[in-house]
Amino acid sequence: MNAPFPSTASGNDPRPPLQLLIAAPRGFCAGVDRAIEIVERALQKYGAPVYVRHEIVHNRYVVDSLKAKGAIFVEELDEVPNDAPVVFSAHGVPKSVPAEAERRKLLYVDATCPLVSKVHRQAERQIEKGQHILFIGHEGHPEVIGTMGQVPDGQITLVETVEDVATLPFTQEDDLSFLTQTTLSVDDTREIVEALQAKYPQIVAPKAEDICYATSNRQAAVKEIASGCDLVLVIGAPNSSNSLRLVEVAQRMGTDARLIQRASEIEPKWLEGVGTLGLTAGASAPEKLVREVVDRLSDWRVVTEEVITTTEEKMVFKLPRQLTE
Ligand code: SF4
């Protein structure tokens, strides 16, 4: 569905025209919506301050808005006082974190996205079956730390690239399975999985795709617009996995693409020679930042917006019962 919005500029406007293709779906996913609502409801229910372990979602604007409402962001539980509530971020946490919270009798709310929790449960089941897990993901990302922390040390191995597969020490006699981070590149992951299956034909795949609906939909949407654009801007944080993947997807289509956190980062020279600009936003970037970018572009150009929709999303996740009772 394409929805053109006519420019409001008059015919003698000195600004050159700019065709703006806005990808849909873009921006907030159901897991991010839920995580933000969890912090807001925790603030209403327990009062400020509410501690949040790690950035609730990887977006500075969201984090600053919640800080203004009374959230305090910390990296580890030892920074949380005994009498304060704490929320775990949407990326998920290793098992040791809720265990520590329980030992300290902390009041905690888990904002792990249900689609990440699903991967955690699959990891547990694969270990119960005696399989060694090959986990496809990016080292150091909080989701990877959380998922690898669901199983005992030594029973899960991180695989980041096709090249990593060649160096894996396992044999075709070993009981192996694989899982993936939820926010990976669909195309890169397919290549890694194919390499794993070629080397280990016995490897057991997850029951369903681990890359989440929001990640795949945003990548498909940016693919749809990228080839027709001179430049693609992706709104997202440098530590947001799914946003970085959107930049890569556009670049692989042969289109120049840049990651920006806010409209103020756009430099007028980027627009030189650009007649058609693509715009999208990672799953942790609010729509307000998309409008901010459109407004900034309109300072320099007469913008004609067109929303290119590849699919409609209706996913909504339930809140934890402790916040709805
Ligand atoms: S990107 Fe996917 S896995 Fe991550 S919070 Fe959103 S829906 Fe959940």
Written as tens digits, the pLDDT of the chain (325 aa) is: 444 444 445 568 899 999 999 999 999 999 999 999 999 999 999 999 999 999 999 999 999 999 999 999 999 999 999 999 999 999 999 999 999 999 999 999 999 999 999 999 999 999 999 999 999 999 999 999 999 999 999 999 999 999 999 999 999 999 999 999 999 999 999 999 999 999 999 999 998 889 999 999 999 999 999 999 999 999 999 999 999 999 999 999 999 999 999 999 999 999 999 999 999 999 999 999 999 999 999 999 999 999 999 999 999 999 999 999 8
C-beta 32 within 6 A of ligand 1? yes
What is the signed CA dihedral for 131, 137, 143, 146, rounded to 10 degrees?
30
C-beta 211 within 6 A of ligand 1? no
Is 124 in the active site? no
Residue minimizing CA distance to atom 6 of ligand 1: 31
301 vs 19: CA distance, rounded Å: 9
240 labeled part of a ligand binding site: yes
Q: What is the reported pTM?
A: 0.94
Give the model's pLDDT for residue 13: 86
Long-range contacts of 257-262 (CB under 8 A, 24+ apart): 257/226, 257/231, 257/232, 257/233, 258/231, 258/232, 258/233, 258/234, 259/234, 260/233, 260/234, 260/235, 260/293, 261/60, 261/61, 261/235, 261/236, 261/237, 262/61, 262/289, 262/292
Instruction: Give the DSSP letter of residue 25.
Output: S
User: Is the backbone of residue 154 left (phi > 0), alpha (psi -120 to 50) or beta?
Assistant: left
From the list 40, 75, 143, 267, the catalytic residue is: 143
Q: Which two tokens stand for residue 51?
A: 């501690």
Report how far ligand 1's centroid is from the alpha carbon of 53 (Å): 17
242 labeled part of a ligand binding site: yes
Report how far ligand 1's centroid is from the alpha carbon of 269 (Å): 34
Which domains are present in the chain?
2-28+213-309 (3.40.1010.20), 30-110 (3.40.50.11270), 115-210 (3.40.1010.20)
Residue type, 76: E
Strands 132-136 and 156-159: parallel
Strands 256-260 and 231-235: parallel
C-beta 283 within 6 A of ligand 1? yes
C-beta 182 within 6 A of ligand 1? yes
Report how far ligand 1's centroid is from the alpha carbon of 30 (Å): 7
C-beta 116 within 6 A of ligand 1? yes
